[in-house]
Amino acid sequence: MRKLHGVQSVAAALAAGAFAVVMSGCGLLSIESWVKVIQAQSSGSVMFLGANLPLDRVQGGFLGLIQVNTSQLPAPLNGTITIEDIRLAASEPKALKQLCVWANPLGTSSGTVHLDVLAGTGSASINLDIDATTGLSQQLGIPPAELKQALNLPLSGVSIQTLLAASQSGSADGLFATNTSFNGNSTIGGIPVTFGLNLAVTNSSTPPIIDADLQAFCDPFFAQQTLVPGLFYGINSKSSYLTAANGDNPAAPVVIALSDVGAVPGNTLHLTRIGTFADSAQLKNGNQTKVSGVFSSTNVVLGTNVQNRIPGALQSGAPAFVTPPVFQGFWIVPTDIPQDFLIDPGLDVVVPAGAQYLIVAPFSPDLTWGDNSGFSLGVALEVK
């Protein structure tokens, strides 16, 4: 009986915490995240010249921005969704070779979203406007085809419990998981062709990984998209690469492999801060914008109780970002490292010799990160 009472107490505490989270919303909340294809659970085909050609290696995803007003909580949230970047690729080895799908740079892909956090259900309705091409089309000199379709996506799983978990971790990764399908009609050299994709997806702060051969073919088309100035990487609002103050336990910073964006020492990166975060635990965007970064020769980030948490940190030509000291125990200890620089609102920086990674995190004005919130913060990278 005592054990059962203990379980009930824990359950009550969790329920109270969850209710406190949903009641703490008080303004506009943006969730910017990659919705990535789960390759093992996704498929597609193309109907061409009377043959149904199956696609293999269906990969990629799209960057979506959801905006809702959390002051409506715990009532259902109604808001908007904008698709800012689409990077879908596949192969069909018999005839079409590569297949690329991206957002029409002259159109918009947007719609509405409905989230019932008490029931754990939701949906999104999107008017999709995309361009598509194939390896065969390019060989024949045929321009990309524009395809339009209305999509309805179930977004089940966004509940009080998942919002609580996201609020505690600072990350919206895995908040949305769904299945969708797309069918579009076009022509290749005057011959009718029908594209069909059946996608299982989940969301993540990092961009999708696409096989190198497909990436090389599709990159020029992906680059036509203009809503985001580069490849978006989401940043956990609770993360830091600086030594931590008493009572603070920041999350790990984002570690970006420069090889993932095709950058090598000597290249110039154009970095842009995207979105904001709140210096509070409330579910809202906030108005904090400072994001900093540092190049490193390794992906190692040490524990939060040491000053030089990035042992491979490298100096670049960007202006140094100076950070103040904090209390650890009874001592005042420095947080500043000489190699980092500010990314706000953006800058161009040359990748220094030996650099293989870029490590980024927000800078919190109260020098604590555990109480931050917000799911729209990120940095966009473009190799110039």
- Per-residue pLDDT reduced to its tens digit, 26-72: 789 999 999 999 999 999 999 988 889 999 999 999 999 999 998 88
Domain boundary among the residues 227, 259, 276 is at 227
Is residue 241 scored above 90 in pLDDT? yes
Mean pLDDT of 345-357: 97
Higher pLDDT, 182 or 380: 380
Is residue 10 scored above 60 in pLDDT? no
Share the mean pLDDT of the chain: 89
From residue 45, alpha-carbon distances to 102, 193, 197, 198 in Å are: 17, 10, 7, 9
Q: State whether residue 152 is helix, strand or coil.
A: strand
DSSP 197-246: EEEEEEEESSPPP--HHHHHHHHHHHTT--SSSSEEEE--TTB-SSPPPT
Asked if residue 213 and residue 246 are part of one domain, the reply reads no
Beta bridge partners of 129: 148
Asked if residue 254 and residue 214 are part of one domain, the reply reads no
Q: How far apart are CA 130 and CA 372, in angstroms?
A: 36
Domain boundary among the residues 176, 202, 227 is at 227
Domain boundary among the residues 204, 227, 250 is at 227
pLDDT the model gives residue 9: 40
Task: Give 71's contacts (C-beta < 8 A, 6+ positions apart).
Answer: 25, 26, 27
pTM, whole model, 2 decimals? Answer: 0.90
In a domain, 18, yes or no: no
Higher pLDDT, 25 or 8: 25
Residue 27 phi/psi, 5-degree rounding, is: 170, -165
In a domain, 58, yes or no: yes
Q: Report the number of distinct structural domains present in the chain.
A: 2
pLDDT the model gives residue 25: 55
Q: How far apart are CA 205 and CA 324, in angstroms?
A: 29
pLDDT the model gives residue 127: 95
Report pLDDT digits (tens) over 219-237. Answer: 999 999 999 999 999 999 9
Mean pLDDT of 320-349: 95
What count of other Cβ atoms lies within 10 Å of the Cβ of residue 356? 18
Higher pLDDT, 7 or 294: 294
